[in-house]
A and B are shown apart, each in its own frame.
Chain A
Amino acid sequence: MNFKKQNPINQQKRATFGLGLITAIVVIPVLLILGVVFVKGISVIDWNFLTTEPTNGLREGGVFPAIVGTLILVVGAVVWSVPFGVATAIYLVEYSPRSRAANLVRLAILNLAGVPSVVYGLFGLGVFVIALKFGASILAGTLTLALMGLPVIVTSTAEALKAVPDRFREASLALGASKWQTTRHVVLPNSIQGILTGIILEISRAGGETAPILFTVAAFYLPRLPQSIFDQVMALPMHLFAISTQVPNIGLDVRYAVALTLLFLVLGINAVAISIRAKIRKNRIW
């Protein structure tokens, strides 16, 4: 027998090296993209760029309305999708019988995650903008984004609920609590982390998407802040798309600056959610 070949310490070393190498292959392109965007865009970003409106046919001025618009869209999408998504997940995991119909619903929701975002955009145009007569508006846009985010919220919430051990549910029921009380006071408080993970994913996606907001809310040029949920807004991804394809003679550095602003914005919102999650994780006791 050749024990040298089977040496667990060597195997451990090889595994560490191999997995580290693969991680590096994954991480390096991401860092490169971030680095290029940062280096090429940072020179344009100053206080003026972040706080003023675009002027001269988008060629000059800042991106303030687009920042505000993106913030509104992200928050709106989360506000719509979280209550509905969490409620749906609770029903699917805690209440619905383990039937073929319920499995079909689960499968359908999972598949929604694979629908291209432009299809959501067209659906939003047809249903919210035209049929429900919301017009191109914050209402129509956030509902469209929320719809797109639902599968992620439902799936991550459902997984979080399933991860709560059944013995907690049984202990609660054995004390005379109802199913809803058990869900509300025992299961949900222990699922917040997973729900927040879903929200974090949705923030990133809602912040960066162009297609769903293209027909439903985004304005090409609207140098003022919205007054109501029936107004249009500018949004950073749409703005980037506009200045990259529709407006000639705009410096590359401005485009990178817009992309960098979007990255920072999404990172900022996510940082809030991540820090809440970290705080909860610290208090978690099982």
Chain B
Amino acid sequence: MVKEIIIKSLSVSYGNKQAIRNLSLSVEKNEILGIIGPTTSGKTTLLTVLNRMIDTIPSVAISGNVSMGDIDVLTTPNIHSLRRSVGMIFALPVALPMTIRENVEYGPKMAGEAKGELETRVKESLVQAGLWDEVHDRLDTPALKLSGGQQQRLCIARALALKPKVLLLDEPCSGLDPISTSRIEDTLSQLKNDMTIILVTNNPHQAARVAHRTAFMLKGELIELADTDTLFTNPADNRTKEYIEGKFG
């Protein structure tokens, strides 16, 4: 398997609070890697390191090494291009206060994409995110009028418009109903053919449904990383077993 992302002994701390401790793992190309664990286990922090959104947080200290192809993620001077190739979806959908079309066009436009390209890019991205059929006749209406689940798929389409290599999702279904959730899970299963996906979730069942491999994190440490089937049926670590069985969370 080709490795898309290689993380070596990554540590992150906010002030004197350690969020990630000496974490090493690699993500394979075109896999869906699920990351589960209770709150404050460092899952979100890990994602924000991968596209350097962590830079927006003051007084953070990072050490270790993260590489993505030939890009050194932690030191690359061009974070804008890094963020374009590593899309991020937040826990709560954040549709920008503009129209549906403008939302999807936003990333490519800011990247200086030619205007002629945008029309097809908007359609492609919305189709990929499974939203096209619902919005194709109202692309120029405000995005914030969409339902929560639609907004989250719009956010996915918006990230896809940049043709990312990696898609990071931070508990993307935490505020959504089961039907919206399953639509997003279907979308992810489709997308893995074109990109690598890291799905952070505090719902172990979701990882069980869509992830090829699943990592269990606890208090900033990687406890266990295995094929999803193995991790859920035969975990090596007792803490993993207890978390999956719902003994703590």
Check if B110 sits within 8 Å of A178, measured CB to CB.
yes
Query: Given that A170-B53, A171-B94 are known contacts, is A176 also in contact with B142, CB under 8 Å in the complex?
Result: no
Check if A178 sits within 8 Å of B80, measured CB to CB.
yes
Q: Does A167 contact B (CB under 8 A)?
A: yes
Check if A173 sits within 8 Å of B56, measured CB to CB.
yes
B125–chain A nearest beta-carbon distance, Å: 12
Check if B90 sits within 8 Å of A172, measured CB to CB.
no
Check if B56 sits within 8 Å of A176, measured CB to CB.
no
A176 to B51: give the CA distance in the assembly, Å: 9
Query: Given that A176-B81, A177-B110 are known contacts, is A167 also in contact with B90, CB under 8 Å in the complex?
Result: yes
Specify which chain B residues have a CB less than 8 angstroms from the CB of A286 in the assembled complex: 97, 144
Q: Does A185 contact B (CB under 8 A)?
A: yes
Q: Does B127 contact A (CB under 8 A)?
A: no
Specify which chain A residues have a CB less than 8 angstroms from the CB of B84 in the assembled complex: 175-176
Check if B158 sits within 8 Å of A168, measured CB to CB.
no
A73 to B94: give the CA distance in the assembly, Å: 43
Check if A174 sits within 8 Å of B110, measured CB to CB.
no
Query: Given that A167-B90, A170-B56 are known contacts, is A177 also in contact with B80, CB under 8 Å in the complex?
Result: yes
Specify which chain B residues have a CB less than 8 angstroms from the CB of A168 in the assembled complex: 94, 96-97
Interface of A is mostly: helix
B97-116 to A contact mask, C-beta < 8 Å, 1/0? 11000000011001100000
Check if B83 sits within 8 Å of A171, measured CB to CB.
no
Give residues 34-88 of A contacting B (CB, 8 Å).
none
A113–chain B nearest beta-carbon distance, Å: 30
Check if A186 sits within 8 Å of B96, measured CB to CB.
yes
Specify which chain B residues have a CB less than 8 angstroms from the CB of A284 in the assembled complex: 97
Specify which chain B residues have a CB less than 8 angstroms from the CB of A26 in the assembled complex: none
Chain A: interface residue count, which band? 20 to 34
A181 to B145: give the CA distance in the assembly, Å: 24
Check if B90 sits within 8 Å of A175, measured CB to CB.
no
B214–chain A nearest beta-carbon distance, Å: 24
Check if A181 sits within 8 Å of B110, measured CB to CB.
yes
Specify which chain A residues have a CB less than 8 angstroms from the CB of B53 in the assembled complex: 170, 173-174
Specify which chain B residues have a CB less than 8 angstroms from the CB of A216 in the assembled complex: none
A51 to B81: give the CA distance in the assembly, Å: 61
Q: Does A261 contact B (CB under 8 A)?
A: no
Give residues 249-286 of A contacting B (CB, 8 Å).
284-286
Task: Report how many residues on chain B are interfacial, defined by Cβ distance under 8 Å.
Answer: 28
Query: Given that A170-B53, A285-B145 are known contacts, is A176 also in contact with B83, CB under 8 Å in the complex?
Result: yes
A149-188 to B contact mask, C-beta < 8 Å, 1/0? 0000000000000000001101111111110010001100
A248–chain B nearest beta-carbon distance, Å: 60
B158-199 to A contact mask, C-beta < 8 Å, 1/0? 110010000000000000000000000000000000000000
Query: Given that A186-B96, A285-B145 are known contacts, is A176 also in contact with B90, CB under 8 Å in the complex?
Result: no
Give residues 73-92 of B contacting A (CB, 8 Å).
80-84, 87-88, 90, 92
Check if B96 sits within 8 Å of A176, measured CB to CB.
no
A190 to B142: give the CA distance in the assembly, Å: 14
Specify which chain B residues have a CB less than 8 angstroms from the CB of A98 in the assembled complex: 58
A172 to B97: give the CA distance in the assembly, Å: 11
Q: Most chain-A Cβ atoms within 10 A of its Cβ — which of B53, B82, B97, B111?
A: B97
Check if A177 sits within 8 Å of B56, measured CB to CB.
no
Chain A residue nearest in CB terms to B111: A176
Give residues 112-161 of B contacting A (CB, 8 Å).
142, 144-145, 155, 158-159
Specify which chain A residues have a CB less than 8 angstroms from the CB of B98 in the assembled complex: 189
Q: Give me 5 A-to-B residue pairs in the complex whose CB atoms sit less than 8 angstroms apart, sorted by A's number.
A: A170-B94, A174-B159, A175-B106, A176-B83, A285-B144
Interface positions of A (Cβ within 8 A of B): 98, 167-168, 170-178, 181, 185-186, 189-190, 284-286
Sample of 14 more A-B contacts, CB < 8 Å, known A181-B110, A286-B97 = A167-B94, A170-B56, A171-B96, A173-B56, A175-B83, A175-B110, A176-B82, A176-B111, A177-B106, A177-B107, A177-B110, A178-B80, A178-B110, A185-B106
